[in-house]
Amino acid sequence: MLAAWEWLKQYWQFVIIGLLTVSVGLVLFLLLRTPAPTQKSDDVFTNSHSAVLATASTASATAPTTTQTGFVDVKGAVKKPGIYQVNDNTRLFDVVRLAGGLATDADQQQINLAQQLNDQQVVFIPKIGEEVPPQYAAPVATPATSEAPATATATTSKSTGGTQVNLNTATAEELQQLTGIGQKKAELIIQFRTEQGGFKQPEDLKKVSGIGDKTFESLKDSVTV
């Protein structure tokens, strides 16, 4: 007994260190054995459902917008006449570029390069001095309905059910919407009505330089005075 007490007095530091080591090991063991909290099945379903909705929403937001495609027939004064594919946003200058560009003798005054094209449309680019055949003429754009003063440039035709352009008040841009009328001819029409005091009847349009019987016949139902 005395020997044991003497040994304890001599090695008490090692005993304390051993006890502390055992205590720390026991605490760590108990902590590692504690199970992690489990997620309820309802929470799992809710989180999964939210994730699916978020993914679907993102896919919908990034989906590309589709456009309808078609084809137009390009004829006349271009380098490569032929059939070219278009979509909802294609303009005349796009197709002219695809056709190799305008020919050297193309009359740019009679065409509207910003014109929007449609499926199955025929595009005719005239040569200088050549009139656009009526069957190839671009459709006349109908202006948006608005409250207009008594001197409106367009009036409704009861006989045709369409919109007529007033030769005495129309602007150059409005005149260019007529069949076979480009920028140059629109300026000549305005010059004529200024010098002559206006048009007395639609037939006076034939007195304007460059407008013959054929051109007048193709647009007589679209003009008024």
In this prediction, residue 96 carries a pLDDT of 92
Q: Closest Cα to residue 215, out of 183, 182, 170?
A: 182
Instruction: Please state the φ and ψ torsions of residue 99, each to the nearest 5 degrees.
Output: -85, 15
Q: How far apart are CA 76 and CA 132, in angstroms?
A: 10
- Could you give the number of structural domains in the chain? 2
In a domain, 92, yes or no: yes
- Per-residue pLDDT tens, the chain, 225 aa: give them: 556 666 666 666 777 787 888 888 888 888 777 555 555 545 544 455 455 445 555 555 555 555 778 898 999 999 999 999 999 889 988 989 999 999 999 988 888 888 888 888 888 899 998 887 776 766 544 444 444 443 334 333 333 345 788 888 888 888 888 877 888 888 888 888 888 888 888 888 888 888 888 888 887 788 888
* Cross-strand bridge partners of residue 127: 106
Q: Strands 82-87, 69-76: parallel, antiparallel or unpaired by DSSP? A: antiparallel
What was the pLDDT predicted at 52?
Answer: 45
Instruction: Give φ, ψ of 218 to 5 degrees.
Output: -75, -15
Q: What does the DSSP 8-state code read for residue 121?
A: -
Q: Please check whether residues 108 and 161 belong to one and the same domain.
A: no
Q: Is residue 42 part of a domain?
A: no
Beta carbons within 8 Å of 178's beta carbon, 6+ residues apart: 140, 165, 219, 222, 223
In this predicted structure, what is the pLDDT of residue 3?
64
Q: Specify the CATH number for the domain of residue 158.
A: 1.10.150.320
Domain of 207 in residue numbering reads as 154-224
**Same domain for 118 and 173?**
no
Q: Are residues 119 and 169 in the same domain?
A: no
| CB atoms near residue 189 (< 10 Å) | 24
Q: End-to-end CA distance of the chain: give it in Å, rounded.
A: 138
Measured CA to CA, the distance from residue 149 to residue 166 in angstroms comes to 14
User: Quick check: pTM over 0.85?
Assistant: no
Residue 161 domain-assigned (yes or no):
yes
The CATH number of the domain holding residue 101 is 3.10.560.10
Residue labelled with tokens 């294609």:
90
Question: Is there a domain that residue 9 lies in?
Answer: no
In a domain, 25, yes or no: no
Q: Which of 110, 128, 146 is the last residue of a domain?
A: 128
